[in-house]
Structure 1
């Protein structure tokens, strides 16, 4: 157990699957009481039961839900030390193919979820001199094809992190962003299955190998690897880090795209 986190209370949005589930499990191993939240009760209840935590179904983008969520955490646990704003998704189309409703859904899923929950939690975080970890993506640093809403939302999360860090650092609250690359989660597995079918690849493993071919580490991350970064940013070990963007993408962001063809040519 981590003495920094033992007995602390951690709220993880989107905590029922994927990275959020891995984060919840990591904090529970560190001795924290973990509250997982999301819109689907079943996966939340499964995770909470397995880690000895609490499941609260809520829409992280809804102000009333967020206020009630934080109030319940404080009523039942008496404190709130860490918020991991992990909920996200939506926005997989070009600008021309994104109608008003899809645009609103992308921003709601990727930005409003973090903004609303952290805003509701700020008084408790100030009281605890707490920490916030916002889950962005390498889509917050660069644009992929046909993911306009997702890309804009993930970029916006970095701005949100910086604004929070700037305004609340003097209150003892630290806020940082994590930008993962490909992570082998159920959502990414579905994307790989679709990609494999479209590209005529053999299976999911070949799809992952293809999309990470030009990544220096040449593989996707496992959810536990991203959870370890989140844990570091929420611990005393990172006590002088705030407003930072921590990239965990296997080195993808350092690759000079125009030189990839030279590498493939063996030059």
Structure 2
């Protein structure tokens, strides 16, 4: 296909625009892969971005996916792909899912400078650059952007300052986009999942598995013992919430931080010792 010049990236193609297009970052694995499969199953044209070319290519062999290897934190990487993205999408985007993210552990003292830098680059700058580079196409189609945050967007976790800080920062980006681009017909929201069975969460469970000599399922059970639903989410459950928020059924929803955590944020942690005394809670 012929790359277009920067000046006409967003030329509209009415025939291509008859089918809705979603762009997903971090599409090669975990929640991103699940989202790609789900949107494709609902007849969306799926544009998937990731740095893992092999996994992205493999996914594209299984579903209708337009794969692009893009470093989401780097403007030049976006600009190299934008002409082709506009070509396949008809110049507009109906939804963007800013999903890409990484985890590096450490406290304010122990976190290394390189780990802090990469967290800021991917989780924070990457999300902002995703909005910056896709908003012109979202404006064209009156689309919307969904930022994938975390329960760590709302609360702190031990030894996790970089992830907590960058996920908190997403709320500011999301609300600013909602305010600035709402008058132009673009919605902006954030989904904050709690424990969810993903490759990243599985890695976090390794510490519990080692300490208590237990299985992965037993580790998740320990991690979610104080959640009202007493279990982690499946990726499909979170993906369905994201799809709803990005759909026309949520057309008046914008600027919202939607927590999807199995009820965890309803729990008063200071009362847990007393709560455990009640047979119907244990």
User: TM class, shorter-chain normalised?
Assistant: over 0.9
Task: Kindly indicate whether residue 47 of structure 2 is the aligned counterpart of residue 35 of structure 1.
Answer: yes
- From 151, 160, 172, the counterpart of 2:164: 151
Q: Which has the larger radius of gyration?
A: 2
Q: TM-score, normalised by structure 2?
A: 0.89
> Are the aligned partners of 1:37 and 1:58 in contact in 2 as well (CA < 8 Å)?
yes
Note the residue ranges of structure 1 that are not aligned, 5 or more in a row.
none
Aligned counterparts, 1:181-260, within 5 A? 181-197=194-210, 199-260=211-272
Q: After superposition, give the CA deviation of every residue in 1:196-233 in whole Å (9 maximum; x if it has no partner).
A: 11x22321111000000000101000001011011011
Note the residue ranges of structure 2 that are not aligned, 5 or more in a row.
1-16
- From 130, 152, 156, the counterpart of 2:143: 130
2-structure distance, mates of 1:77, 1:132:
16
Q: CA deviation at 1:249?
A: 0.5
1-structure distance, mates of 2:30, 2:166:
19
- From 95, 98, 101, the counterpart of 1:82: 95
* DSSP 3-state at the match of 1:134: strand
> After TM superposition, which residue ranges in structure 1, 4 or more long, deviate above 4 angstroms?
none
| Segment drifting more, 146-155 vs 100-109 | 100-109
* DSSP 3-state at the match of 1:102: helix
Q: After superposition, give the CA deviation of every residue in 1:21-71 in whole Å (9 maximum; x if it has no partner).
A: 111111111110101111111111122221211111111111111222332
* DSSP 3-state at the match of 2:190: strand
What is the RMSD of the two structures over their aligned residues, measured on CA atoms?
Answer: 1.5
Match of 1:115 in 2: 128
2-structure distance, mates of 1:196, 1:6:
49
Task: Kindly indicate whether residue 106 of structure 2 is the aligned counterpart of residue 93 of structure 1.
Answer: yes
2-structure distance, mates of 1:93, 1:54:
36
> Are the aligned partners of 1:214 and 1:252 in contact in 2 as well (CA < 8 Å)?
yes
Task: Kindly indicate whether residue 38 of structure 2 is the aligned counterpart of residue 26 of structure 1.
Answer: yes
Match of 1:60 in 2: 72
Match of 1:266 in 2: 278
Q: TM-score, normalised by structure 1?
A: 0.94
Q: CA deviation at 1:6?
A: 7.7
* DSSP 3-state at the match of 1:242: coil
Match of 2:19 in 1: 7
Q: After superposition, give the CA deviation of every residue in 1:153-174 in whole Å (9 maximum; x if it has no partner).
A: 0000011000000000000000
Distance 1:176 1:33, change over 3 A: same
> Are the aligned partners of 1:192 and 1:208 in contact in 2 as well (CA < 8 Å)?
yes
